[in-house]
Amino acid sequence: MNMKKFLLLLAFLPGLLHAKDLIVLQSGLRFEGHIVRMSPQHLVFENDGQRFRIPASDLAFVGLDEAETMDDVDACLRAYNDTRLRGRQWHNFFGGVFFGPITVIYDLVKTYHPLKDERVLLLSRNKGYFSDPIYLECYSYRAKTYATLQAAGGWATWVLLFSKR
């Protein structure tokens, strides 16, 4: 194999290795591309930059590319990023200032879930993972940690401001 063929192979190798989703219709037609959205009623499919909406009744087979499977680390990273969308930093801080240890204990006992946070519901791109147990565990841990630290910071501020020197 000469050098030109080798370089040509290296140039086209990423395109050949890029796996795609496969759709087979009831009529026997096959399509390769990328599935954008799936619902019980229809499927949105993208092929060569064009999007197609296919009713679920017309589908015979849907083969998904397994290259984008989510592992535990990816689920935790998504959950940690979503806890940033919660907001409520000042609520927790001033709760700690005014109510002190009660707010800290409340934040430690409270169960955090992304479906109960309106901002996360509106802004998150990870809505499909809200039922994943790894995602929920990481989300709850990080949200609980942030809220407790903010409330403890508020309590410490109250102690520093109003303590006798």
Domains of the chain, CATH where assigned:
3-68 (2.30.30.100), 72-162 (no CATH)
pLDDT of residue 1: 53
Cβ distance 71 to 129 under 8 Å?
no
pLDDT of residue 99: 95
pLDDT of residue 165: 65
- Give the whole-angstrom CA distance, residue 87 versus residue 85: 6
List per-residue pLDDT tens for the chain, 165 residues long.
Answer: 565 555 544 455 444 445 577 888 888 888 888 887 777 788 888 888 888 888 888 888 877 765 445 566 788 899 999 999 988 889 999 999 999 999 999 999 999 999 988 889 888 888 888 888 899 999 999 999 999 999 999 999 999 998 876
- Give the whole-angstrom CA distance, residue 146 versus residue 151: 9
Candidates 60, 64, 67; CA nearest to 33 is: 64
Give the number of other Cβ atoms within 10 Å of residue 52's Cβ. 14
- Give the whole-angstrom CA distance, residue 61 versus residue 55: 13
pLDDT of residue 45: 82
Q: What six digits make up the tokens of 79?
A: 């959950």
pLDDT of residue 66: 56
pLDDT of residue 24: 84
pLDDT of residue 56: 81
pLDDT of residue 16: 45
